[in-house]
A = this chain, B = another copy of it.
């Protein structure tokens, strides 16, 4: 695996994330995401095309090649492992880790990252609940879905909460729901869209639709 500049890595990562949503990524989307100008994006797209990291025909938008995706997963692996380290070992709070990891992720020494992974105990998700690719770039492709979309009697892991207000956190704490908690939906009520869920062998309890809409889970 070759080495890429910080700037190239930032473009690759941004394309990877935007690809998840749409199929293909446009110049303006990317310029907006990276807070740069469309002309700069076009310049970089030409460079990355030459390096065979993305497919790109003028005016047609772009998407990463297989090689490009591999590179992106490497960057994301580094980013999320550092986030985990910062939160778990250095006691950074939930919302501070991203910014610092943005810098650390560009130190691309494979041995460093694999040893860090081992030191941390091979964590499966970062502090935001997003999955961490393994040393081979494999990632749990369990897409993040809203708790409201889960099928009955399937188990999913709570991965993130979109609203971060203290009110919702109080409620989640009371119901013993945290990131990493395994939830099973037992019933859904059409009247108010509330649902009954279970954690492990404990008795099922009720979650309102407002709450469920703010909980996202990884379902295999």
Q: List residues of chain A with CB under 8 Å of any chain B CB.
A: 86, 89-92, 96, 100, 103-104, 107, 109, 111-112, 115-116, 118-119
Contacts and interface: CB of A to CB of B under 8 A. Distances in A.
B115 A92 contact: yes
Contacts of A107: 100, 103-104, 107
Nearest to A90: B115
Contact of A103 (B90, B109, B115): B109
A92 B90 CA distance: 20
A119 B119 CA distance: 14
Task: Give me the 6 closest cross-chain CB pairs, A-B, nearest first.
Answer: A90-B115, A103-B107, A100-B112, A100-B109, A90-B119, A104-B107
Contacts of A86: 112
Contacts of A104: 104, 107
Given A100-B107, A100-B112, 10 more contacts: A86-B112, A90-B115, A91-B115, A92-B115, A96-B111, A100-B109, A100-B111, A103-B107, A104-B104, A107-B107
Contacts of A115: 90-92
A116 B90 contact: yes
A32 to B, nearest CB: 25
A118 B92 CA distance: 12
A96 B107 CA distance: 15
Interface hub of A86, A100, A104, A107 (most chain B Cβ within 10 A) = A107
A75 B118 CA distance: 27
Contacts of A119: 89-90
16 contacts: A86-B112, A89-B119, A90-B112, A90-B115, A90-B116, A90-B118, A90-B119, A91-B115, A92-B115, A100-B111, A100-B112, A103-B107, A103-B109, A104-B104, A104-B107, A107-B107
